């Protein structure tokens, strides 16, 4: 005879995996939003810089240099290595999310299958 609570472990694994999925979707959304903000800041700073690098006076030159330093800092913050590029790849993100969803779904199916036949007393 089956235990009446055989379905509980797969259900808990399903819930845990779904929480991981939700957190992953949230993290991907935040990362994409931050990347867009950094790109807008870089574009704004580049457009504000004097293209010839010659200001009207020393004060303008200092402001240009300060903006260039901010631009370099943003570019360094935006810079990434190969690992970052892999994790930021949309294909990697989508396949990871779909894989997590499939794992959670399999746990849910297992929980439903274990809960169904055992209730009838067979």
Taking the CA atoms of 61, 67, 71 and 72 in sequence, report the sign of the dihedral they define: positive
Q: Which tens digits make up the pLDDT trace of 12-60?
A: 888 988 888 888 888 888 878 887 887 787 777 777 765 555 455 566 7
Residue ranges of the domains in the chain? 8-118
Asked if 113 contacts 14 with a C-beta cutoff of 8 angstroms, the reply is no
**pLDDT for 38:** 78
Q: Which tens digits make up the pLDDT trace of 95-120?
A: 888 988 999 999 889 888 888 765 54
**pLDDT for 121:** 45
Compute the CA torsion angle 61, 65, 70, 72 (nearest 10 deg): 140
Q: Each residue of 55-79: b (16+ CB within 10 Å) or e? A: eeeeeeeeebeebeeebeebeeeee
């Amino acid at each position: 005879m089956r235990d009446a609570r055989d379905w509980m472990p797969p259900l808990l694994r399903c819930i845990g995996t779904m929480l991981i999925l939700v957190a992953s979707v949230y993290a991907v959304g935040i990362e994409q939003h931050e990347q867009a903000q950094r790109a807008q800041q870089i574009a704004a700073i580049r457009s504000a810089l004097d293209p010839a690098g010659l200001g009207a006076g020393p004060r303008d030159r200092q402001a240009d240099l300060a903006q260039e330093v901010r631009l370099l800092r943003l570019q360094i913050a935006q810079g990434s290595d190969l690992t970052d590029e892999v994790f930021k790849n949309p294909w990697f993100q989508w396949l990871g999310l779909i894989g997590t969803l499939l794992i959670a779904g399999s746990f849910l199916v297992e929980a439903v299958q274990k809960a169904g036949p055992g209730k009838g007393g067979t």
